Amino acid sequence: MDATTKKALLLLKSLIFHYHGLDDDERAMLEHTASKMEAKEEMDWANKFISEDYLSAFERSREFLSKIFTKMNPSDRIKHLTEVWEETHKKGYVTEMETTAILTLSKDWHVEKEFLEVVKD
């Protein structure tokens, strides 16, 4: 996996986790993912990208992520969205803002219907 894809995957996860403030469990999940992907620098980049301006982070991220994810096949897009969806549930709750963000991204990436089919089960 190339560095740009690693950045996109970590930005996706970090963006969703930052919606209500990155807590210790979420930080640990991000660090685990980065370690598994051998992507510490990419994780640092994603967190810096978000921290540059929290208020515009989602819109800036949407643009960057769409460039990367729309080049992937639809099943990979759904797989990555589902991974983030499932990780948000591991912490015991999912906020409305997190859900809205994930659904917005699924629409941006042209897999909204397919993603909804996966998560409704």
Q: What pTM was estimated for this model as a whole? A: 0.92
Question: pLDDT value at position 23?
Answer: 85
Those residues of the chain that have pLDDT short of 50 are none
What is the C-alpha to C-alpha distance for residues 106 and 69, in angstroms, rounded to an integer?
A: 10
Per-residue model confidence as pLDDT tens digits over 64-98 = 999 999 999 999 999 999 999 999 888 788 889 99
Give residue 3's pLDDT. Answer: 95
Look at residue 113 in the predicted model and tell me its pLDDT: 97
Q: How many angstroms separate the CA atoms of 22 and 2, rounded?
A: 26
Q: What is the pLDDT of residue 94?
A: 83
Q: Where are the domains of the chain?
A: 3-120
Q: What is the DSSP string of 37-96?
A: HT-HHHHHHHHHHHHT-GGGHHHHHHHHHHHHHTTS-HHHHHHHHHHHHHHHHHTT---H
pLDDT at 19: 82
What pLDDT sits at residue 91?
Answer: 79
Q: What is the pLDDT of residue 22?
A: 84
